[in-house]
Amino acid sequence: MMPIIGIPLGYTRLSDGRPILFLGEKVRRVIQKAGGEVFPIVPVQDIDYIEVWRSDFPSLTEDEKKLIEDNLNQCDGIFFPGGKKFTPYDEYLLELAIFKKIPILGVCLGMQMMSCYQEEVRLEENGDLISHNQLDDDTSLSHEVIIDKNSKLYQILGKDKIMVNSFHNYHGTNNHIYRSVAMSLDHQLEAIEYPGDTFNLGVQWHPEISYEFDINSKKIIDTFIEEARKRSYARKENSMSFI
């Protein structure tokens, strides 16, 4: 069974100034290669997501929250991609996914958003001891991270040290709900997990970019898809029991 993976769309402007929503091609391709069905999730507020500062976003209305929940109810897993900004819309989607115990994988900005869950947003600029932005180089891994052996990430990879790619200028800080499970050698947060049995992992790197040539990236993506597939089977069994 092919699990449905919800992905919030990003937003940018074309060269002529027109705003657009987009889904990163690397994300789309790797979800499909790993056996998932892509389900784009669009913003629900009638505002300029590019120009409006995060602090100026209006609160979600009950109707808007209902739209987000309706989208989420179609999904067996949620993938929070990288990007430039996260909004109350993204945060509410995360809150609902946690409440409904839907498997979650967040990368780069997606992980940074998760690191702010139910806390004040605190993102810090990277230091200069390690290069955390390899710019347009999609074909290599740039630095090492150390993984807590008492973590699900370690169970997935079977390693306490791995090389990762890196495309960010800011990083998240420790969260009192999510648990820090991997750090870079310059002590920046690299991976977090939510407590409990549901797959709920955020990584600062981009396993969707290195999926084809890095076994660790492949294991992370494949495990996420498999956990979403389990939920898909469970949803089907539950619906059959009511027939």
Q: What is the pTM of this model?
A: 0.92
Q: What pLDDT shows up at residue 241?
A: 55
pLDDT in tens, 124-138: 666 666 777 767 777
Give the contacts of 70 (CB within 8 A, at least 6 positions apart): none
Q: Among 45, 49, 89, 47, which Cα is nearest to 69's?
A: 89
More confident of the two residues 28 and 141: 28
Least confident of 120-124, 146-150, 221-225: 120-124
CA–CA gap between residue 155 and residue 195 (Å, rounded): 14
Q: Which residues pair with 19 in a beta bridge?
A: 13
More confident of the two residues 107 and 51: 107
CA–CA gap between residue 132 and residue 147 (Å, rounded): 17
CA–CA gap between residue 16 and residue 186 (Å, rounded): 41
Q: Are 65 and 99 in contact (CB under 8 A)?
A: no
Structural domains in the chain, sorted by start? 4-240 (3.40.50.880)
pLDDT in tens, 201-214: 999 999 999 999 99
More confident of the two residues 60 and 139: 60
Largest CA distance in the chain: 60
pLDDT in tens, 173-193: 777 899 999 999 888 889 999
pLDDT confidence tier of residue 54, bands split at 50, 70 and 90: confident
pLDDT confidence tier of residue 237, bands split at 50, 70 and 90: confident
- Which helix (H) or strand (E) segment holds residue 128: the answer is none
Q: Is 80 exceeded by the pLDDT of residue 29?
A: yes
Q: Is 90 exceeded by the pLDDT of residue 77?
A: yes
Q: What pLDDT shows up at residue 66?
A: 97
pLDDT in tens, 167-178: 776 777 777 899
Q: What pLDDT shows up at residue 186?
A: 85
Q: What pLDDT shows up at residue 95?
A: 97
CA–CA gap between residue 66 and residue 93 (Å, rounded): 11
Mean pLDDT, residues 85-95 taken together: 92
Mean pLDDT, residues 196-204 taken together: 96
Tokens of 14: 């074309």
Q: What pLDDT shows up at residue 127?
A: 65
CA 145 to each of CA 28, 160, 184, 215, 217: distance values in angstroms, whole numbers, following the listed order: 26, 8, 4, 15, 13
- Mean pLDDT across the chain, nearest whole number? 90
